[in-house]
Structure 1
Amino acid sequence: MDDQTYDDAYQAWRASLTTLLADPALLARWQERRFRFAHRAGALLTEPHGDSPAITGPALYGVFAAGAGLCYVGQTQEAERRLRDLPVGESHHLANTVPPELWERVVVIRWPLLLPEAPAVESALAVEMGPTVCGLALEHALQVATAPPLNSRRRRTSGDWQPRNLAQSRSRGAIHAQSVPGLTQLALGAWAALSELEIPDHSAVVDTGIGRVVSPTALHQSPDA
């Protein structure tokens, strides 16, 4: 996309929002519609689905958008809270940059369920590390493997952006990722499978037990989205 086309699209976006926020009543309608959509997406990410339980506790997650592909990879110790808030954006920057209405796919992995398949020494080490450190380790490994753009640079106080070399990070996650290579491979395998899993027509969620795939864009098929 050339600069002029990009600028035209930006101006069209601003013009659309100006129309949608043209008076107080329309502003309230906009607020209600956006929260309704975000609330529904958050419910799909966390609530029980069919025979599958709710998503709770430690989890890895990633958000894909149309065109851009994978945008962001994260981890949480409280999936029931973080994933419900993720599309709302009250405590997470992602929704401020990539509106949830454009999220094609959200992948969630219940990584503690992978521990029985990991080498025994790594399972014991993961327990010793604790879920917080182990979650950070798996998050780091997944970020290095997939290089999501929103994880690959950080904001600076000067108003611009600084690239992050994830592979050379000395964070807690980076340091401990080297200790659980088998568990990391299991997480990467689950990630690959869920990232490519086909979501049936007229459905917005598939749960495999190990993880869950949610398509927020499928909600647009519903008249009250």
Structure 2
Amino acid sequence: MDDQTYEDAYRDWRDSLATLLGDASLLGRWQERRYRFAHGVGALLTEPYGESAAMTGPVLYGVFAGGAGLCYVGQTQEAERRLRDLPVGESHHLANTVPPELWERVVVIRWPLLIPSAPADEQSIAAETGPQVCGLALEHALQVATAPPLNSRRRRTTGDWQPRNLAQSRSRGAVRAQSLPGLSALVLAAWHACAAVEAPDGAGVVDTGAGRVVFPSALHETFAG
């Protein structure tokens, strides 16, 4: 896309929002519609589905957009809270940059379920480390393997962005990730499997047990108007 096409698209976006927020009643309608949609995505991410339990506890998650692909990878110890908030954006920056209406899929990995398949020494390390640091370690390994753009730089107080070299990080997660290569490989395999799942007809969720894939586009008609 050349610069002029990009600027035209940006102006079209602003003009569309100006129409949607044209008066107080339209503002209210906009607020209601966006929250209905975000709430619906959050429900698909967290509530029980079929024979699969509700999404709780430690997970890794990532958001894909139709054109950009994988945008962001994160982890949480409270999936039931964090994943509901993810599309709402009240305490998470992602939805402010990539609106959930444009999310192609969200992948969630219940990584503790993969620990029994990891090498015995890594099972012991994971138990000694605890879920918080272990989650940070697996998040780091997944970010290095997938290089999501919104994890690959940080905001600066000067108003611009600074690249992050994830592979050279010395954070707690990065240091611990070096001792969990087998578990990290299991996570990455589960991740790639979920990232390749096709959207099912008439449903917005595929749950594999260790992973869940949510397709927000399945909600557009449900929450239209």
TM-score where L is the length of structure 2 = 0.99
Alignment of 1:109-128 (within 5 A): 109-128=109-128
Alignment of 1:192-211 (within 5 A): 192-211=192-211
Give the Cα–Cα distance (whole angstroms) in 2 for the partners of residues 19 and 186 of structure 1.
48
Identity of aligned residues (%): 77
Q: 1:84 corresponds to which residue?
A: 84
Alignment of 1:112-191 (within 5 A): 112-191=112-191
Q: 1:212 corresponds to which residue?
A: 212
Structure 1 position 199, deviation (Å): 2.0
Deviates more, 1:155-164 or 1:192-201: 192-201
Q: 2:12 corresponds to which residue?
A: 12
Q: 1:54 corresponds to which residue?
A: 54
Deviates more, 1:27-36 or 1:199-208: 199-208
Structure 1 position 223, deviation (Å): 5.3
Alignment of 1:89-108 (within 5 A): 89-108=89-108
> Aligned letter for 1:44?
L
Give the Cα–Cα distance (whole angstroms) in 2 for the partners of residues 223 and 121 of structure 1.
48
Give the Cα–Cα distance (whole angstroms) in 1 for the partners of residues 120 and 167 of structure 2.
27
Give the Cα–Cα distance (whole angstroms) in 2 for the partners of residues 223 and 77 of structure 1.
30
Give the Cα–Cα distance (whole angstroms) in 1 for the partners of residues 158 and 26 of structure 2.
35
Deviations 1:182-216 (A, max 9, x none): 10000000001000012212210010100100000
Give the Cα–Cα distance (whole angstroms) in 2 for the partners of residues 178 and 13 of structure 1.
44
- Please, which runs of 5 or more residues in structure 1 have no aligned partner? none
TM-score where L is the length of structure 1 = 0.99
Give the Cα–Cα distance (whole angstroms) in 2 for the partners of residues 85 and 200 of structure 1.
24
Structure 1 position 152, deviation (Å): 0.2
Give the Cα–Cα distance (whole angstroms) in 1 for the partners of residues 105 and 18 of structure 2.
28
Structure 1 stretches of 4+ with a deviation exceeding 4 A read none
> Aligned letter for 2:189?
G
Give the Cα–Cα distance (whole angstroms) in 1 for the partners of residues 48 and 123 of structure 2.
27
Give the Cα–Cα distance (whole angstroms) in 2 for the partners of residues 224 and 16 of structure 1.
17
Q: CA RMSD in A?
A: 0.8
> Aligned letter for 1:90?
E
What is the DSSP-based 3-state SS (H/G/I as helix, E as strand, rest coil) of the residue aligned with 1:213? strand
